[in-house]
Amino acid sequence: MAQKKIGKQTFQFSSVPVVTSWASVVGPKEGQGPLGDKYDLVLTDSLAGEKTWEKAEQKMMQYSMELALEKQELLPKDLDLYLAGDLLNQIISANFTARFLNTPFLGLYGACSTLAQGLCVAGILLEGGFAEKIGVSASSHHDTAERQFRTPTELGDQRPMTAQWTVTGSASFLVERIGTGIMLTHATIGKINDLGVSNTQDLGSAMAPAALDTIKTHLEDLGRSEDDYDLIVTGDLGFLGSNILKELLQQNDISPKKINDCGIMVYSPSQDTHAGGSGCGCSAVVLAAHLIERLRKGLDQRILFVGTGALLSQISAFQGESIPCIAHAVVLEARGEVK
Amino acid sequence: MAQKKIGKQTFQFSSVPVVTSWASVVGPKEGQGPLGDKYDLVLTDSLAGEKTWEKAEQKMMQYSMELALEKQELLPKDLDLYLAGDLLNQIISANFTARFLNTPFLGLYGACSTLAQGLCVAGILLEGGFAEKIGVSASSHHDTAERQFRTPTELGDQRPMTAQWTVTGSASFLVERIGTGIMLTHATIGKINDLGVSNTQDLGSAMAPAALDTIKTHLEDLGRSEDDYDLIVTGDLGFLGSNILKELLQQNDISPKKINDCGIMVYSPSQDTHAGGSGCGCSAVVLAAHLIERLRKGLDQRILFVGTGALLSQISAFQGESIPCIAHAVVLEARGEVK
């Protein structure tokens, strides 16, 4: 059997699972952003024809998975397993999507690291020989997240400049044991990092040390450097958190020149989102619409996709707890036909 | 490579991962129940010396994992991975326990099926060669769950007779690739079943069809019958749900004679919990304190442990949604030294 675990926290997928299809659905604000013309579907309003934002979020997740399957001429019943999660209490977007798909389902919670966590678990299942085709989704919705974690958007609370804007969007990925597409070669499972930040309006600062830990561990585990990647992209540290990460990397003798962040890429500065985008949907839609397309076109050859999650709840914040953060990473590579 | 997937939804763990250690911590009411003298620790009050019930729940989870490790003379750093989840929004009990343990962590959400889900994923990771030692935990707390899902307990709302009592308790399990203990031979990953029940005070009825689906699929996948098991035990259908399951099994030509339920076993009728126990902690503590001990003593040879989860949230219920339910199952066997 080929070696599966490399170093402390990294798994090697020697059989090379392949991301064969992907799709993204976003809200109107995201459609007006710099990646606007790259999403598969841009909603004209944040309700998507539903009565509640929660139902709209679930619809986005479902539609993105259906679209990803359609591109491969597959149906939900062709999936061996479905892995999904979201920010909502009890991950209801994922649960109701799994109800629609009617496939075996494992619910995940990793906050904004959920998509990366799902890709890690998909890789484990495919490399282990447990499945042929796995669907992975993550979603978030600005209005469902705001009213759950902070205040109802109708209140119009002034947001501090450190706050990020939760992305309204969902993306889904089809990962197969055999196929043509983007290769999933490694996964690094993160540990909790908590340096004591308790400001729920500054999650980027809270999450930066977790991103550092996972990137550093990943490079050490594989004996690689930042030069082995065309891009090391974090989930959603935003402007503030990403700058902190760059400083932390330099302090650890890792050059920050390959670093970018999905929370920075998803909106333009003129959209006035303050510290950038966030939410499980943020890194998911940027990966599906932009990053993985660059790999497909050969513009990048190998990227490290680092999902970052702030694992707080409203009640843990109310009770004065600091914010436990995590980052999971996967390596995606361009060359990719596995037969 | 040995065949990993059998039938539609079942994984076979030919390398036979071993549950080598387990521990349970419960609240006072559980301590007064029929399994009272079998738990590793019974708290004298539901706050466990903490200021909030949420912190008490997290403490129970942490302590049960520490105890399980201690029995094997291991430390948290010896774990390759930690898999955990709970009922609280954003699974904070698990997140803060993972912060304490400081091990690579995958957060799971499967409501009351979480422990079974964790054992399924542990089996996958160990069989796949990704890890040597994995910790798995689940917890619930009556007062944290009531105020989150229903009403604060201080209100003293009258509960209907269909309602179950959320167990205050947590159990943790150490699953190893090599060791002496209880063998984890198969896992069946469930699909969502939702027959339209929307009464959040009758989760047993909602979950029974999911339990049927997983048990039926499991037996079909392996070409086994109920006679191949000493016990088929569901997570927490309670009295009402378990009776419905028995009827559903009979309608499907499966004898219900091997069926029991952790929600029935955890309290005595005199404790007036109405329909029985529930919560992620329910099946976890009954497995750790009672079921797995019976296997260890050779009183049972092989059981099917079926975790059942009602994947609703307070907001999905408020918005009129019915309750999507799931059941994940693992096979545990008594004979067990793998070298």
Residues of B in contact with A319 (CB under 8 A): 51-52, 54-55
The ipTM (two decimal places) reads 0.97
In chain B, count H helices and then E strands: 11, 17
Contacts A–B by Cβ distance under 8 A: 178
- Give Cβ neighbours of residue A98 (< 8 Å, ≥ 6 apart): A82, A84, A105, A107, B191, B192, B324, B326
pLDDT of residue A335: 73
pLDDT of residue B150: 87
Taking CA atoms, what residue in B is nearest to A120?
B106
Residues of A in contact with B105 (CB under 8 A): 189-192, 326
Residues of A in contact with B10 (CB under 8 A): none
Cβ contact, residue pair A313, B11, below 8 Å: no
Task: Give the integer Cα–Cα distance in Å for A72 and A66.
Answer: 10
pLDDT of residue B157: 87
Cβ-nearest to A124 among B89, B120, B124:
B124
Best A130, A280, A314, A322 residue to mutate vs chain B (most B CBs within 10 Å): A130
Taking CA atoms, what residue in A is nearest to B213?
A104
User: Are the CB atoms for B86 and B61 separated by under 8 Å?
Assistant: yes
Cβ contact, residue pair A54, B315, below 8 Å: yes
pLDDT average, residue stretch B200-225: 97
Cβ contact, residue pair B9, A108, below 8 Å: no
Cβ-nearest to A90 among B9, B194, B312:
B312
pLDDT band at B339 (very low <50, low <70, confident <90, very high): very low
- pLDDT of B329 strictly over 50: yes
Cβ contact, residue pair B130, A110, below 8 Å: no
pLDDT of residue A288: 98
Residues of A in contact with B11 (CB under 8 A): 130
pLDDT of residue A339: 44
Distance (Å) from the alpha carbon of B52 to chain A's nearest alpha carbon: 8
Q: Tokens 């447990």 appear where?
A: A130
Burial A22-47 (b: 16+ CB within 10 A, else e): bbbbbbebbbebbbeebbbbbbeebb
Taking CA atoms, what residue in A is nearest to B95?
A311
* Residue segments in chain A with a per-residue pLDDT below the cut of 50: 338-339
Residues of A in contact with B102 (CB under 8 A): 191-192
User: Are the CB atoms for A199 and A36 separated by under 8 Å?
Assistant: no
Distance (Å) from the alpha carbon of A38 to chain B's nearest alpha carbon: 31
Best B55, B316, B319, B326 residue to mutate vs chain A (most A CBs within 10 Å): B316
Cβ contact, residue pair B315, A88, below 8 Å: yes
Distance (Å) from the alpha carbon of A197 to chain B's nearest alpha carbon: 14
Taking CA atoms, what residue in A is nearest to B86?
A90
Taking CA atoms, what residue in B is nearest to A94?
B311
Taking CA atoms, what residue in B is nearest to A213?
B104
SS3 assignment for chain A: CCCCEECCCEEECCCCCEEEEEEEEECHHHHCCCCHHHCCEECCCCCCCCCCHHHHHHHHHHHHHHHHHHHCCCCHHHCCEEEEEECCHHHHHHHHHHHHHCCCEEEECCHHHHHHHHHHHHHHHHHCCCCCEEEEEEEECHHHHHHHHCCCHHHCCCCCCCCCEECCEEEEEEEECCEECEEEEEEECCCCECCCCCCCCCHHHHHHHHHHHHHHHHHHHHCCCHHHCCEEEECCCHHHHHHHHHHHHHHCCCCHHHEEEHHHHCCCHHHCCCCCEECHHHHHHHHHHHHHHHHHCCCCCEEEEEEEEECCCHHHHHCCCCCCEEEEEEEEECCCEEC
pLDDT of residue A1: 57
Domains identified in chain B and CATH numbers: 5-176 (3.40.47.40), 187-338 (3.40.47.40)
Q: Which amino acid is at A336?
A: G
Cβ contact, residue pair A106, B89, below 8 Å: no
Distance (Å) from the alpha carbon of B302 to chain A's nearest alpha carbon: 23
Predicted confidence (pLDDT) per residue in B143-189, tens digit: 999 999 988 888 888 999 999 999 999 999 999 999 999 999 999 99
Cβ contact, residue pair A314, B1, below 8 Å: no
Question: Smallest Cα–Cα separation from A27: which of A201, A165, A160?
Answer: A165
- Helix (H) / strand (E) element for B124: namely helix B114-127
Cβ contact, residue pair B191, A90, below 8 Å: no
- pLDDT of B336 strictly over 60: no
- pLDDT of B226 strictly over 70: yes
Query: Taking the C-alpha atoms of A161, A163, A164 and A168 in order, what is their torsion angle to the nearest 10 degrees?
Result: -120
Residues of B in contact with A191 (CB under 8 A): 98, 102-105
Distance (Å) from the alpha carbon of A81 to chain B's nearest alpha carbon: 8
Decide: pTM greater than 0.90: yes
Taking CA atoms, what residue in A is nearest to B6?
A130
Cβ-nearest to A90 among B51, B92, B313:
B313
Predicted confidence (pLDDT) per residue in B4-58, tens digit: 999 999 999 999 999 999 999 999 999 999 999 999 999 999 999 999 999 999 9
Cβ contact, residue pair B89, A314, below 8 Å: yes
Cβ contact, residue pair A108, B103, below 8 Å: no
Cβ contact, residue pair A96, B324, below 8 Å: yes
Cβ-nearest to B192 among A98, A128, A313:
A98
